[in-house]
Structure 1
Amino acid sequence: MSSLQKLSDQVQETFSKSAANIFLYYDGEEQNKVIEEMKDIVEKNCFVNAKLTKANEVIERITELHSSDDNILKFKDILEEYKTEMVKIDPDVSRDINLVEFNRQVKDLLKDTENASDAQPLGDSDDDLQFTQDTVNVIDPFTKKRMTDPMKNKTCGHVYDRKSVNAMLKVNPRTRCPVVGCAHKEYISINNLESDIVLKTRLLKKTV
């Protein structure tokens, strides 16, 4: 994974956590207003990332095309070509994976908030479960302790605590999902882990 991609993932993680905090500390019209502002920020960030990616592609293409030219004599032409290509870049980010994922997370948070009145909060011991439409397990399968920062495995859908799964992968990169009965036998990959902001919000509210 490139450093640029890592930075992009970190920024996206920050957006997800911000959305969770908005649902924690805002409600009603104020919540809707702040969420819409966040959506706009995420969309603009996706646009900038898409434009940077396209710009790098332009640079690589022009560099390869003129690699055998006399750079001093051709510099002005190359610069003009670059400017012309850059003006054409106007990416459509409506289907950008990060924007789509953020909107999905917001939708899940909103749905969870609407269903909250139907759920009765339990205590905060390690064995607690919250029953809503599904059974939500808050126990990390590695440490058998209550999670604080849940990460969902996009491959199988199971959830682990961030600290424990990162520690396990450092010790053994060939770690499989430890959940009993998990049908997926692939090794857990950091690239396939994402914050479960709905569960994290529930944990912070102590509704599970």
Structure 2
Amino acid sequence: MSLSGVHGALSNLKLCQVDIGTGMDIVTDVAMDLAEAQDEGGMAGIKEIEAMVLECAKLDREINCFVDIVQQVTAEVSTQQPETMVDLSAKVRERFTVKIARLSDAELYNHHKVVAFKESIKNSSDQANQESAEATEESDEEIRVTQSQVNFICPLTQVEMLKPMKNKKCNHHYDEDAIMSLIKTKQKQKKKCRCPVVGCGNADVKQSDLIPDQVLRRRIQSQKRHSNPM
């Protein structure tokens, strides 16, 4: 296989990761529905879904490891003679086996999708409790809805977020594509990425600080459905 063929295979693996991430979002939505129902059967179902999310996180991690190792090995052989390509598969297999053996399943709980899952379940349960206890007047409800809609707007794009990401440090939200683009731009400029929310003192937004906010995403989708009924 040529190096171009290897790079093509890696691109396909990365597309698989996108599908894995989408699947994790879908089962997270199901778990959030169960959390909002707040019954014993639902809690048992959440445990089963959490196990599925962890398995997906493990697969995603293994793909990341494999891609990293292939890129390292191909970078090494690209500067050597063509015959070194013969040993490419063996080198990748050996390094991958060693690296995977060093990984701990406990580390999976730090995977950003797993963190988002745990936080989403907690927030859904808390929100269900809050909504059941609230009895507000219509004028107060209108104010609350208006304030929520404002929170749906990305401070970077100034349009409604599609994939809201929450910053664990300052608790502000941004659309995933917009904030990742800004972080990459600042990295190329060798500068720190300041939180784009006006008045925020967070002067160093990092990718590791961001987690998907599934609760907010569902609220945005719910608001769209109510605004545009079939």
TM-score in terms of structure 1 length:
0.59
How far apart are the structure 1 equivalents of 2:220 and 2:150? 15
Partner of 1:107: 122
Report if aligned partners of 1:140, 1:159 keep a CA contact under 8 Å in 2.
no
- When residues 119 and 202 of structure 1 are mapped into structure 2, their CA distance, relative to the original with a 3 A threshold, is farther
Partner of 2:215: 197
Partner of 2:112: 97
Report if aligned partners of 1:148, 1:203 keep a CA contact under 8 Å in 2.
no
The yes-or-no answer on 1:22 pairing with 2:34 is yes
How far apart are the structure 2 equivalents of 1:9 and 1:101? 12
Report if aligned partners of 1:62, 1:78 keep a CA contact under 8 Å in 2.
yes
Partner of 2:89: 79
> What are the ranges of 5 or more consecutive residues in structure 1 without an aligned counterpart?
131-135, 167-175
How far apart are the structure 1 equivalents of 2:201 and 2:73? 44
Deviation at 1:125, TM superposition (A): 9.0
- When residues 69 and 149 of structure 1 are mapped into structure 2, their CA distance, relative to the original with a 3 A threshold, is closer
Report if aligned partners of 2:166, 2:210 keep a CA contact under 8 Å in 1.
yes
Secondary structure of the residue that 2:200 maps to in structure 1?
coil
Deviation at 1:148, TM superposition (A): 11
One-letter code aligned to 1:41: M
Secondary structure of the residue that 1:120 maps to in structure 2?
coil
How far apart are the structure 2 equivalents of 1:95 and 1:81? 29
Alignment of 1:1-208 (within 5 A): 4=14, 7=18, 10-24=22-36, 26-67=37-78, 68-71=80-83, 75=86, 77-88=87-98, 89-90=100-101, 91-92=103-104, 93-120=108-135, 123=138, 127-129=142-144, 137-140=147-150, 151=164, 154=167, 157=171, 177=197, 182-183=199-200, 194-195=212-213, 197=215, 200=218
> What are the ranges of 5 or more consecutive residues in structure 2 without an aligned counterpart?
1-10, 154-159, 179-195, 204-208, 224-230
Deviation at 1:108, TM superposition (A): 2.0
How far apart are the structure 2 equivalents of 1:199 and 1:70? 49
Work out the percentage of aligned pairs sharing the same amino acid: 10
Deviation at 1:203, TM superposition (A): 9.2
Determine which structure has the larger helix proportion and give its number. Answer: 2
One-letter code aligned to 2:71: E
How much is the aligned-residue C-alpha RMSD, in angstroms?
4.8
Q: CA deviation digits over 1:107-156, x for unaligned, max 9?
A: 222233344443226559972428xxxxx9323266xxxx9989465375
Higher RCO, 1 vs 2 (CA within 8 Å, ≥6 residues apart) = 1
How far apart are the structure 2 equivalents of 1:149 and 1:105? 16
Q: CA deviation digits over 1:183-204, x for unaligned, max 9?
A: 3698xxxx96844516846995
Q: CA deviation digits over 1:54-106, x for unaligned, max 9?
A: 0011112222233313437x61x332222222333154313222212221221
